[in-house]
Chain A
Amino acid sequence: MPHDHSDHPHALLPPEPALRVKALETILRDKGLIDPAALEEIIDTYQNKIGPQNGARVVAKAWLDDDFRAALMQDATSVVRDLGFYGRQGEHMVVVENTPDQHNMVVCTLCSCYPWPLLGIPPGWYKSDAYRASAVREPRKVLAEFGVILPKGTAVRVWDSTAEVRYLVLPMRPQGTEGMDEDALAALVTRDSMIGTGLARQPEGGAS
């Protein structure tokens, strides 16, 4: 049941956030409830191992291989699982594809749900009140803040992640990338392009 007590226990901890975390961590460690080595392992995983490079790999494969793309659109969860990109906050994946007719953009207005196994930990702006509040109501204004201006004929579809389904945007493949291999293509796929607040990079020397 909801408890709306005014005496929230957190107020007993130091108010300064770094000290608050440290205090709680120390209490839990002294009671044997958390293992400092496990914390290091969690931090190392999200700092160094899991990040947008995973999603970029998926996008590059989809650009290169129509069968892969079709399977991805049909059942993203099992396709990315086969690539080793499954886990916490990515248990139910759906990929949405940008086209000249429709641009997709992902938000979580109620908290900050995000496809961790494919994109890592969300950036600060994704978790900000400003993004959560405005992405659903004025996505084009938000896109402009990211330097993205869509053609007038392109509709915007905003996906508000209200359940445990996580969305990844499949950006359009840039012009001038014919013949590029998977690694070169993956390097063009930015984190923001997979959230839908950006577009894939143009190749160097290509049309800008």
Chain B
Amino acid sequence: MSRVHDIGGRFGDGPVLPEGQDAPVFAADWHARALAVTLACGSLGQWNIDTSRHARERLSPKDYTRFSYYEKWISALADLLVEKGVLTVADLTGVDAPEAKHPLADRCLRADQVQGVLASGGPADRTGGPASLFQPGQKVRTRHPGGNAMVAGGHTRLPAYATGAVGVIERLHGTHVLPDSAAHGLGEAPEPLYAVRFAASELWAQPEHPRDEVVLDLWQSYLSAEDT
């Protein structure tokens, strides 16, 4: 079973409502604050991008569904800060008196560091790891059942709609950190990452067009060779 965020292909969400190209970047001031606080907390170094994605996915289905985008961010951030011991429950309820210097205060992101941090990013490619098993043009089948193979209910990037499907390797991206491992503190476990293309008819009961395709980026351990 996957989690509430895994919604690709779901019915019933209604039409997409496009906004003008000139709509403000942040629809409300607090959206901007939520983004900035979340990015700044990332610099404390207590988690990686996979951990923080998983924190949003672990919101209860009820919360995930009713929260807007940045509510998910800020709520998952609060959960993560407590889970990683950066803040305590008492801190959140405000009963704690101001204390001595926080042990992570030296890691606080300063204004003069922002441009450097945003510009350097966090590349996910790594050297080493297993050799690539598949070549462009080769047929592969995705794992079924899906889900994290190491941790029940854990983070994974194989969407439910694409499990057990046969596709074709489009390209090799290189060797990338495996989110299924990295999200849970189990190491980066880098693996070859591929773009894999699937005929829409392989994924959907009523594809819109016989030549339409969907491409997903999938790690080697999500795939097995499919005999032609």
Contact = CB atoms under 8 A, between A and B. Distances in A.
A157 B199 CA distance: 9
A109 interface: yes
Interface residues of A, number: 89
A46 B119 CA distance: 12
A207 interface: no
Contacts of A94: 173, 195
Nearest to A7: B89
A101 B102 CA distance: 58
B202 interface: no
Given A13-B92, A165-B195, A192 B18 contact: yes
Interface string B102-125: 101100111101110111111111
Contacts of A121: 25-26, 35
A8 B155 CA distance: 18
B86 interface: yes
Given A3-B58, A165-B217, A142 B78 contact: no
A1 B87 CA distance: 19
Nearest to B76: A10
A35 B29 CA distance: 17
Contacts of B7: 109, 129, 132-133
A39 B212 contact: no
Interface of B: 5-11, 13-19, 21, 23, 25-30, 32-37, 39-41, 44, 49, 53-54, 56, 58-60, 63, 68-71, 74-79, 81-83, 86-87, 89, 91-94, 98-99, 101-102, 104-105, 108-111, 113-115, 117-125, 151-154, 157-159, 161-162, 173-174, 176-177, 179, 184, 193, 195, 197, 200, 203-204, 208-209, 211-219
- Listed from nearest, the 8 A-B pairs whose CB atoms lie closest are A109-B8, A163-B217, A155-B211, A10-B75, A32-B105, A37-B111, A164-B124, A18-B30
